[in-house]
Amino acid sequence: MDLMLVGVGVFVGILSGFFGIGGGTVSVPILLYMGFDIKQAIGISVFQMLLGSILGYFIHRKKQTYNASKKIYFGYGGIAGAIIGAYFVKIFHSEILEYLFLSLVVFTLVKLFMSNPEPTKKEIYNPYLYTAIGFGIGIFSGMLGVGGSILMTPILVSFLGFSLKKASAVGLFFVIFSSFSSFVSLSYLGLMDYQHGLILGIGSLFGIWIGIWLLQKVKLTHYKKFLVGFYIFIFLITINKVIG
């Protein structure tokens, strides 16, 4: 089981670095297939996302992908929202969480399919708006064990004038805050599986380097196709698990 988790972690890390996701959209369905229940899977996923997103930030900082001082307001809102979301994990039935996770994937898939990979308007900068967006996404992040970038990326591209690659990088940055808040909250509530989360997280660190390197190499138009295809895959395996 532990060796399998390391392998899953590497795989999740590659996808995390490439698509700018925390990894929860991938690791949660896989962990469900491995026999963990949804609440265990959420806790393990949050641990992995915290480790992977921190490493991703330092890599993007070295490459100067974005200005972190302006994007940090997303994180402030995400911390507060994730605390609330983590409490929902405690009170909601597992089946409700599974269908919410599925709905989130569907929303993201539709928005990404309709989005333009190149900005169609000037990038919007508003600290208050960034904080509000981060808060809303943070609730879903803490509740469903996803880093939040699954929602962040389509919102930044569709409404705030970000390019697709930059939005993905900022989404991974946001994961630091939302996953840290979720980690603390889930630990307090007794829902954190430290052992399996650490194993998965260590594996993902190796994958993050590869994923970000691939992100820098791929063409933007091809990147959108990869991103849409990725979410179709996540949708199919999640709906199969939920309905099955």
pLDDT of residue 198: 93
pLDDT of residue 241: 64
Reference 8, options 20, 153, 32; nearest CA is: 32
**Cβ-proximal residues to 178 (8 Å cutoff; 6+ apart), any chain:** 22, 75, 78, 79, 81, 82, 134, 137, 138, 141, 142, 147, 148
pLDDT of residue 72: 92
Cα–Cα distance measured from residue 44 to residue 49, given in angstroms and rounded to the nearest whole number: 9
Q: How confident is the model at residue 244 (pLDDT cuts 50, 70, 90)?
A: low
106, pLDDT greater than 90: no
Cα–Cα distance measured from residue 36 to residue 32, given in angstroms and rounded to the nearest whole number: 5
**Which residue in this structure is represented by tokens 């909250």?**
185
127, pLDDT greater than 90: yes
Q: Which residue has the higher pLDDT, 177 or 99?
A: 177
**Mean pLDDT across the chain:** 84
145, pLDDT greater than 70: no
pLDDT of residue 74: 93
pLDDT of residue 32: 87
pLDDT in tens, 3-20: 889 999 999 999 989 988
Q: What is the arithmetic mean of pLDDT over 58-71?
A: 87
171, pLDDT greater than 70: yes
Q: What is the arithmetic mean of pLDDT over 12-41?
A: 86
Q: What is the arithmetic mean of pLDDT over 113-135?
A: 85
Q: How confident is the model at residue 207 (pLDDT cuts 50, 70, 90)?
A: very high
pLDDT of residue 165: 85
Mean pLDDT comparison of 112-116, 178-182, 188-192, 198-202, highest-scoring range: 198-202
Q: How confident is the model at residue 220 (pLDDT cuts 50, 70, 90)?
A: confident
146, pLDDT greater than 70: no
Q: Is the pTM of this model over 0.85?
A: no
196, pLDDT greater than 90: yes
Q: What is the arithmetic mean of pLDDT over 181-185?
A: 84
Instruction: Read off the tokens for 159.
Output: 């409404």
pLDDT of residue 242: 64
Are 22 and 16 contacting, i.e. CB atoms less than 8 angstroms apart?
Answer: yes
